[in-house]
A and B are shown apart, each in its own frame.
Chain A
Amino acid sequence: MDRRKFIRNTALVSGGTIVAPSLIAQKEKWNPKNSLTILHTNDTHSNIDPFPETHSKYPGKGGVARRYEIIQKIRAEEENVLLLDAGDIFQGTPYFNRYGGVLEMRLMSELGYDAATMGNHDFDAGVEGFVKARSHAKFPFLCSNYDFSNTLIEGHTQESLVLSKGNIKVGLFGVGVELKGLVPDDKYKETRYLDPVDIANDRARDLKAQGCDLIICLSHLGYEYGSSKVSDRMLANKTRNIHLIIGGHTHTFLDRPTEEKNLDGDTVLINQVGWAGINVGRVDFRFDKKAFAKKEVLIVE
């Protein structure tokens, strides 16, 4: 490695710490058990087939059958892969209107999704419709700030999830957008919306206490607003212990994850990849765990 590259790399180190670039450079020698690849989608909106070739904006883009090939290719290359979705699986093509989300759930199960959260449009078939479609899903829905206790959805989602991949323990939870005004009342019934910032802090703290090396928030709050409405950027700033927010709702196309600082001044990554399954987001992590470490630092390469 030449000196100029060394300087450039160190300049990118987050949190003001300086690290030897040799640790970063030797990807091929890294123990695969200490590596983790996150693949993610958001706002796929029932776009099962690719857009038609005549489409004005995204001709021929997307499609679940292709998404599967991409995911399988990466799974063949990487030992530890998680596949996640940040909500709004439903609504957007006649597949949803006609089949109520069943096909979307079947396909996501076939693609091997590890977890998803609910977007506002995932209430479009009502609480009953969601439960019906959800029975075809072989993956958990993580909803931490919706209280479903007086609805049919009760028991069909969970507040958090811990998964072990190689040597890495991953903690996940999910937050959703306020439904009032966005979704007709009789669709979400007595679902109670709880403050996503408070809930995210609680869930992230619990997951850290459980020894999670990486904490991921699936969010359908939206990337950012020109108001006080809570967004992913705001969530990142007002919380602790979260490493990665996988966002949705605003259909934001990010070329690379946004870096924000949390309450402790640590780096939080936010990523979102548009909508309609046009892109699959990929974030790779490599862990250099030290015994008795007092602190951990997220470094963006």
Chain B
Amino acid sequence: MLKHLLYLCLGAGLLACSSVSHIYSSAEKVEVNDAYSQSTKIDSIVQPYRAELAAEMQEVIAQAEHDFFKDRPNGALNNWAADAALNSVQKESDEALFCLLNVGGLRNPISKGDVTLGDIYKLMPFDNEVVIVELKWERLQAIQEYLIVRGGEPVAGVQLVNQELIVNSLKAQEYVDEDGILIPVPNPKTFKVVTSDYLMNGGDNMTFFADPVNVQYTGNLLRDVFIEQAKQQQVLIWTDEKRIQL
């Protein structure tokens, strides 16, 4: 007690005590783990939602006649996912438009047989949004180099052949003139890439998306696009097209 009094006096002397109020603080982080029980009261609120969701996740939304695996440089799952994303956006015929996703973002294969809603959630558990990024034409070079270094990523509407990235919609516009000579269309100033907001923001080191000319947010999650496409296709379109030829 005496000691405490002494410290109090010491404190008072140093502070001119009465003019200062004090707020003492201490803090800790409490981890939510199995050291704590689960409240049955709370769990009973969640249970009907949980049960309904679990049932819905088992809903069969399409069929798969093959296994869909992701791989490098190509995979049937790569092709399906990139096609689905590209198909989901409104396309103008004369636009240099293609899709680029990442192998890392495809989290689970689709197995032959029933395809459930839960399968698509496992394939794409992240809430990434489909975006359309417009870039200066010169950036195509950086994407080409990236695909070569990475040994392939899921693409649609574009091919890598002989170390060169060719945009399919532009190739279609090439024409043969009277003398039988193939006339290529001139390179446009910009091109558009359908991708996810995660990749656009530099995910998986896709730094070429920095400082885009324009960004169009579609408001659609990649997962929802996959679900929609699967439902439309009924039987998932399987292709082993070699879009990346290294």
Give bound CA distance, A285 to B23, whole Å. Answer: 6
Query: CB-CB < 8 A to B42: which residues of A?
Result: 64-65, 68, 107, 110-111
Query: 0/1 per residue, A1-41, Cβ < 8 Å to B?
Result: 10000100000000001111111100000000000000000
Choose one: A67, A255, A289; the contact of B29 (CB below 8 Å): A255
Cβ–Cβ contact A287 & B21, under 8 A: yes
Q: Which residue of A lies closest to B12 (CB)?
A: A20
Q: Of B36, B40, B45, which one neighbours A106 at CB under 8 angstroms?
A: B45
Q: Is B11 engaged at the interface, CB distance under 8 Å to the other chain?
A: yes
Task: State A64–B27 Cα separation when bound (angstroms).
Answer: 22
Whether B15 sits at the interface, judged by CB under 8 Å, is yes
**Interface pair B29/A297, CB less than 8 Å apart:** no
Cβ A61 vs Cβ B57 within 8 A = no
CA distance A293 to B21 in the complex (A): 6
Q: Does A57 contact B (CB under 8 A)?
A: no
User: Which residue in chain A gives the minimum CB-CB distance to B15?
Assistant: A17
Partner of B25, one of A48, A94, A283: A283
Residues facing A in B1-36 (CB within 8 A) are 3-4, 7-8, 10-12, 14-15, 17-34, 36
Check if A22 sits within 8 Å of B23, measured CB to CB: no
- Complex interface: stretch among B48-56, B61-69, B165-173, B179-187: B48-56
How many Å lie between the Cα of A280 and that of B35 in the bound state? 14
List the A residue with the shortest CB-CB distance to B19: A294
**Segment among A78-86, A180-188, A225-233 that sits at the interface with chain B:** A180-188
Identify which of B27, B28, B33, B39 contacts A61 (C-beta below 8 A).
Answer: B33
A142 contacts partner chain B, Cβ-Cβ < 8 Å:
no
Q: Which residues of B contact A271 (CB under 8 A)?
A: 27
Known A48-B46, A292-B18; judge A301-B26 contact (CB<8 A). yes
Kindly state whether residue A250 has any CB partner on chain B within 8 Å: no
A side interface size, CB within 8 A = 79
Instruction: Name the A residues within 8 Å of B25 (CB-CB).
Output: 257, 269, 283-286, 298-301
**What is the 8 Å Cβ interface bit string for chain A, positions 201-224, against chain B (1 contact, 0 not)?**
000000000000110000000000
Closest to A296 in B: B21
B22, A297: Cβ atoms closer than 8 Å: yes
Contact B23 A296 (CB under 8 A): yes
> A186 touching B219 by the CB < 8 A rule?
yes
CB-defined contacts of A255 to chain B, threshold 8 Å: 29
| CB contact under 8 A between A68 and B23, given known A19-B11, A20-B7, A23-B11 | no
Contacts of A280 in B (CB 8 A): 29-30, 32
- Closest chain-B Cβ to A169's Cβ sits at a distance in Å of 13
**B200 CB → nearest A CB, Å:** 11
- Interface hit among A95-103, A156-164, A192-200: A95-103
- Which B residues are CB-close (under 8 A) to A68? 39, 41-42
The one of B24, B33, B39, B50 in contact with A49, judged by C-beta atoms closer than 8 angstroms, is B50
> How far, in Å, is B47 (CB) from chain A's closest CB?
10
| Residues on B facing A (Cβ under 8 Å) | 3-4, 7-8, 10-12, 14-15, 17-34, 36-43, 45-46, 49-50, 52-53, 56-57, 121, 127, 129, 215, 217-219, 221
Q: Which 4 A-B pairs have the closest CB atoms?
A: A20-B11, A65-B38, A20-B7, A184-B217
24 A/B residue pairs, CB under 8 Å, sorted by A:
A6-B7, A17-B14, A22-B4, A60-B33, A62-B32, A64-B46, A68-B39, A68-B41, A103-B46, A110-B42, A181-B215, A184-B218, A185-B217, A243-B23, A256-B28, A279-B30, A280-B30, A281-B29, A282-B30, A290-B20, A295-B19, A295-B21, A297-B23, A298-B22
Query: Chain A interface (Cβ within 8 Å of chain B)?
Result: 1, 6, 17-24, 48-50, 60-70, 72-73, 91-92, 94-95, 97-99, 103, 106-107, 110-111, 124, 181, 184-187, 213-214, 243, 254-257, 269, 271, 273, 277-301
* 18 additional A-B residue pairs with CB within 8 Å, beyond A66-B32, A106-B45, A107-B45: A1-B3, A19-B22, A22-B3, A23-B11, A61-B31, A94-B53, A95-B53, A184-B217, A269-B25, A284-B27, A286-B23, A290-B18, A292-B18, A293-B18, A293-B19, A297-B23, A298-B25, A300-B26
